[in-house]
Structure 1
Amino acid sequence: MYGTIRIEQNPHAKDKPSVEDGLGFGRYFTDHMFVMDYAEGQGWHDPRVVAYGPLTLDPAAMVFHYGQAVFEGLKAFRTEQDEILLFRPDRNAARLNRSSERLNIPPIDEAFMVHAVQTLVRHDADWVPSAAGSSLYIRPFIIATEAMLGVRPSAQYTFAILLSPVGAYYEEGLQPINILVESHYARAVPGGVGNAKAAGNYAASLKAQMIAKKHNCAQVLWLDGVHKTYLEEVGSMNVFININGEIVTPSLSGSILDGITRSSVIQLLQDWGVPISERKISIEEIVAAYENGTLLEAFGTGTAAVISPIGKLVWQGKELVMHQGGIGEITSRMYEAITGIQTGKIEDVHHWMLPC
């Protein structure tokens, strides 16, 4: 469709980071990246794997001024049989196109997008770590590149894919984290771009993130932008709450990202026969459940962190400690299930994993 992917070998291979020294998250990048260009009238063209390096952009490139930028995040895993697997890449490709549609960026054939990811990962396969808890993080993104100072969609774009070997997203690893419930700033409202994985959404979250750090919290839990009452999502995760044995997650309202790990968790809960509801849930309902002893556990879900237990919610001076600050039973079981499927240790009955 876009031509054969051209491969240019990097003549200057990098030294690979030591897993023992700690990979962290998003600190290291592999030898190569994928790049493809778009021009109005020509469409997407010249797909290529090239040496990892800087992109050259005009200072008037429209991404700098009008924010047309979308991205995705997915992972590749090395199994004990030395096979490399991708977790639901078709869902990432579909979501990238939904984000692009909202920001008026031309779509990319989803099958080709998955093919591009596979090609790049295979080419830099030596970078896929094998240590427990590690993976190869994959970051596809699209930016507007036309040099033009005028408020309209760009006529030129660049689609690129980066690879980064990573360890745990949080420095604490699989340990309960503290979350600050944000009741002043708003992340998104229905009709906006909250359900798109747009770069600007994350820029808008940084102020509240710094406030959360001052409260010894790792992330922010956003309330809805209209009433400042209903739970939406954590900065990098969707959220699930266990109230008296029922798992509740905020329904997709148009301002919440349709998380791929989120949908996987919902499917597994249904498989297990655990009651799961997608609905509006207010912070007042959470506080009431805490006070009457039915707030049992909470966890976040996302590509980066996978499953992240929430030990405490902080809201307007109140500290809601869950499961005595430890990891809940459903949280622990879900982490083992998702990571087990991703690494080939548990049967993939839903066919979520794609070999590279």
Structure 2
Amino acid sequence: MSDIWTPAKIGAVETVNRLAMAPMTRSRAQPDGTPGPLVARYYAQRAGLGLIIAEGTQPSADGQGYLATPGIYTAAHVQGWRHVTSAVHAAGSRIFIQLMHVGRTSHPDNTPHHRQPVAPSAVAPDDRIFTATGMQSIPEPRALTTDEVRQTVEDFRNAARHAIEAGADGVEIHGANGYLVQQFFAPNANLRTDAYGGSIENRARFAIEIARAVAEEIGADRTGIRLSPGATLGGLKEGPEGPALYRHLVAGLNRLGLAYVHLMHLGNEPLLADIRALWDQALIVNRPGRTLEDVGSDVRSGLAEMESYGQFVLSTPDFVERLKSGSAMNQPDRASYYGGGAEGYIDYPTLSEAVGA
């Protein structure tokens, strides 16, 4: 039986423990999408975890939705990420960069080209988004043509290649949380009549094609994907066919031999059991709201090879050390989650710093 302190093999990567840092948008990139000067320090501070999964990173200008999020599709982006990956490796951890195309969850004011958002179909999410001039309604997106869907797959391939050039150990495809890949899953966001809409098989096709392209480019053993079955973020409704779609999807992804599936688990236990049965590689489980007392339970039970944590790690750079000693974690400052500088980003104290203060 494994516990969270035993090493793990996640695809091509060996980790010193079975704890992962979940990807979290922090909006500290430079205006051109290059990781800012504090980013390397932020991730290196948290390198006690076996695997760092870096924040959502756009694979193209169309993929950006929020202010000051990083990209991985230009030479400047690659150079900026090299500082980050080098710092994490020097601190003893491994790092995957999450590739996130937000689809319709965007606004022209937040992108470098100021164009209309793109999505599976021209359906707005009935939501608002923060921009430099304050909160604004998200506009109706433009439906991608079939050729543009295929080009977006190539954008992910290109971004994955750039991530490896930047020193990342692998990439995680963001197929969760209401963004473009999940938008293709949801019948209320995907009204397409081509090969990417309608049936379960068609709505899962985009995700599988991205995974195949990325695996071809950098190796399946350096490719992961994050999923959030049943999540309604961004106004998505996967409907009664949702669980069947995920069973079909995971079976298809399993045939590609990817390094891992990273599951944001929202409570459908029968579906979680089915996904585990269908999946032969590593499973990383994130349970929103998991208490410190329950840390390690999914690894101990054999359900997961790793567990991922977000807010605990955001606020506590020495999360691993405090977990081992049973010490209290820092309280996160929600006001500084997004944007800004060092405050609420790299200034959370370690336990020794807090005691000595």
Q: 1 or 2, which has the higher helix percentage?
A: 2
Larger radius of gyration: 1
Q: 1 or 2, which has the higher strand percentage?
A: 1
Q: TM-score range by the shorter chain?
A: under 0.3
TM-score, reference length from structure 2: 0.27
